[in-house]
Amino acid sequence: MQLRDKHRIMDQMAIKRALTRVAHEIIESNKGVDNLAIVGIRRRGGPLAQRLAKRIEEIEGISIPVGILDITLYRDDLTTLAAPMVHRTEVYFNINNLNIVLVDDVLYTGRTVRAALDALMDLGRPKSIQLAVLVDRGHRELPIKADFIGKNAPTSKQEVISVYVSELDGKDEVIIQEIVDS
């Protein structure tokens, strides 16, 4: 599959503004940060979770727990993957009775979030789980909806949303790419 850049929908400042707004929405929705923790879905959800936690700490003056969740073994397409790479889940706090904000870069079919919910439930029994995404692109296959959205970006099924974060990619931007025949 080959991709061609079509349109940049978020640059570094747009991502920063979106995360700041989402941080405020999380605080407002939870009436503060008591019993709150943030868990990012591994790869780009991890750095986004760290950034959200940092913004919340800057706003509220309180540090909240942050973890990173590997969902590889929970995916429903595991048998179709050639050699899945399993990474470590880094949730070093007890999630029981916490309000967890699950963070991912793009919400598409909902299958990644379903896998993350299963993985989280294997770690304990949170009081609630809320979903924060940087970009919601539509095309849900499962009844999953984000509670906090940085940007809605309706796309066609012939398009892909690529999120780049400086921690992994050396730059911050969100690009809509078009699938082209080779």
Encode pLDDT of 46-59 as tens digits.
Answer: 999 999 999 999 99
Q: For residue 122, count CB atoms less than 10 angstroms from its CB and return exposed for 0-12, middle for 13-18, buried for 19 or more.
A: exposed
Average the pLDDT over 91-117 and give the result: 97
Average the pLDDT over 90-96 and give the result: 97
Q: What is the dihedral of CA 70, 71, 72, 77, to 10 degrees?
A: -160
What pLDDT is stored for residue 76 in this prediction? 76
> Half-sphere exposure of residue 74, counting CA atoms within 13 Å on the CB side?
20
> Furthest-apart CA pair in the chain: how many Å?
52
- Where along the chain do its domains lie? 2-73+84-180
Whether 85 has a pLDDT exceeding 80, the answer reads no
Average the pLDDT over 1-15 and give the result: 94
Q: How far apart are CA 41 and CA 119, in angstroms?
A: 10
pTM for the whole thing?
0.94
What pLDDT is stored for residue 74 in this prediction? 87
* Closest residue by Cα to residue 111 from 161, 72, 147, 165: 72
Of 27-41, 72-86, 101-115, 127-141, the poorest mean pLDDT is in 72-86
CB 106 within 8 A of CB 131: no
What pLDDT is stored for residue 75 in this prediction? 80
What pLDDT is stored for residue 108 in this prediction? 97
> Half-sphere exposure of residue 45, counting CA atoms within 13 Å on the CB side?
25
Q: Which residues pair with 2 in a beta bridge?
A: 180
Burial letters 61-93, b for 16+ CB under 10 A, else e: eeebbbbbbbbeebbeeeeeeeeeeeeebebee
What pLDDT is stored for residue 127 in this prediction? 98
What pLDDT is stored for residue 169 in this prediction? 97
Backbone angles phi, psi at 12, to 5 degrees: -55, -45
Residue of 49 and 76 predicted with greater confidence = 49
Range 2-73+84-180 has CATH code 1.10.8.190: no
Encode pLDDT of 139-168 as tens digits.
Answer: 999 999 999 999 999 999 999 999 999 999
Whether 83 has a pLDDT exceeding 70, the answer reads no
Whether 42 has a pLDDT exceeding 90, the answer reads yes
Chain-wide mean pLDDT for the chain?
Answer: 94
